[in-house]
Structure 1
């Protein structure tokens, strides 16, 4: 069962961790490359701020972004800002998201995200938590996949496994980590079993690691479509 209030508390905690860690940077470090190809740390911080505002739009019944081009342009516009401006924006946009989430609402309603994707409103706080936690790792400032809360890691593995479930480009796959199992992929071909530490499994599913640390039983480690 999705507990949006619990997830909102987790978002606050994760945002505080990210802001405290990023405060140790300086302007030069913000302009350095992040772990995401083509993005500086400034791009990551700008994206986090704009994503918070986009999710406010979702909660309030507006389009998440005006367009994909506008989304990208906003990130490019905000990426070069100095550290203080970046931190203020992440903090202020996070507060706007929390405020929008505290308005009495029907959390069972269906909302629309990007590219026609829909979800229950109650899952929006967890989607925001994913953004904050994984992009904290993407900053490359000492917070690793192994540092993510266990509950978050297992929930995100389950979320991504569900995302690839039924995709004919992914063979039927059994995922094993931390004494738990998940299934994903389509129904054609022989089943593949992928096992290993939960952090490595999450990293592979989320496109943050190449899966070299995972054990594979079957033809080969599946190639996953981009997220």
Structure 2
């Protein structure tokens, strides 16, 4: 069962790490490319701030974004800002999210995310945790997948394996770590089952599209190409 209160504590800790790392940068570094194609670090920071706003909308029963064009335009608008503005926005929007998520509510209710995806309200804090952790890695400032909390890595692997389960473009796939942790996914595409072996962070990198899978070993075929998230 999802413990949303515990996940909110994890969001606070992850946000503090992000703010600490971002605070060591300067305006030049913010304008430099991130690890996400076509995005500067400023784009990543702007996205994180606007994602916090969007999750407040979700928790309060409003559409996550007015539309995809508005979402993209807001990120482009905010990306070129100075570091001080990004930091203030990250703190303010992050605090607003925490306040909304701490308000008494029915955490078993169904909420609607972007593109009509539905989920339990209790999973919203984890979704914010994932945004903060993975985009911290995307900044390219020395925080790597191996630095992520183990609990987060394992749970995000659970989440992504579930997301691709039964996908018509992915053959039946089992991912296994050396210590025996296992995830199954795919299964909607014709083809022999494959087994992928590696560390939990390397498996996460492959599942979330942040690594090419070259550190993984594959048995029974080639490494499946996963659709974009």
State the TM-score, normalized to the length of structure 1: 0.99
Q: Which residue of structure 1 lines up, in the alignment, with residue 216 of structure 2?
A: 214
Shift of 1:218: 1.3
The answer for the alignment partner of 2:182 in structure 1 is 181
Mean Cα deviation higher: 29-38 or 178-187: 178-187
| Whole-angstrom CA distance in 2 between matches of 1:140 and 1:103 | 34
* Residue equivalent to 2:22: 22
What is the DSSP-based 3-state SS (H/G/I as helix, E as strand, rest coil) of the residue aligned with 2:37? coil
Residue 111 (structure 1) shift: 0.2
2-side partners of 1:66 and 1:18: how far apart? 27
1:125 matched to 2:86: no
Cα distance in 1 for residues equivalent to 2:12 and 2:104: 19
* Superposition deviation, residue 173 in structure 1: 0.3
Provide structure 1 residue ranges, at least 5 long, that are not aligned to the other structure.
Answer: none
Report the counterpart of residue 194 of structure 1 in structure 2: 196
CA deviation map 1:110-130 (0-9, x unaligned): 000010100000000000000
C-alpha distance in structure 2 between counterparts of 1:133 and 1:179, whole Å: 24
CA distance in 2, matches of 1:19, 1:108: 31
Gap regions ≥5 residues in structure 2: none
Number of aligned residues: 227
Which deviates the most, 62-71 or 190-199? 190-199
Q: Given the alignment of the two structures, is residue 60 of structure 1 paired with residue 56 of structure 2, yes or no?
A: no
> For 2:99, what is the secondary structure of its paired residue?
helix
Alignment of 1:5-16 (within 5 A): 5-16=5-16
Aligned-residue offset at 1:179 = 2.4
Partner residue, 2:40? 40
What are the equivalent positions in structure 2 for 1:145-184 lying under 5 Å apart? 145-177=145-177, 178-184=179-185
Shift of 1:199: 1.0
Alpha-carbon offset, residue 167 of structure 1:
0.5
Q: Equivalents in 2 of 1:53, 1:113: separation in Å? A: 13
Specify the SS of the correspondent of 1:190.
coil
Give the TM-score taking structure 2 as reference length. Answer: 0.98
Q: Distance in 2 between matches of 1:123 and 1:141?
A: 28
Following TM superposition, by how much is the alpha carbon of 1:189 offset from its aligned partner in structure 2, in angstroms? 2.1
1:204 equivalenced with 2:227 (yes/no): no
- SS in structure 2 of the partner of residue 93 of structure 1: helix
Shift in Å, 1:190: 1.0
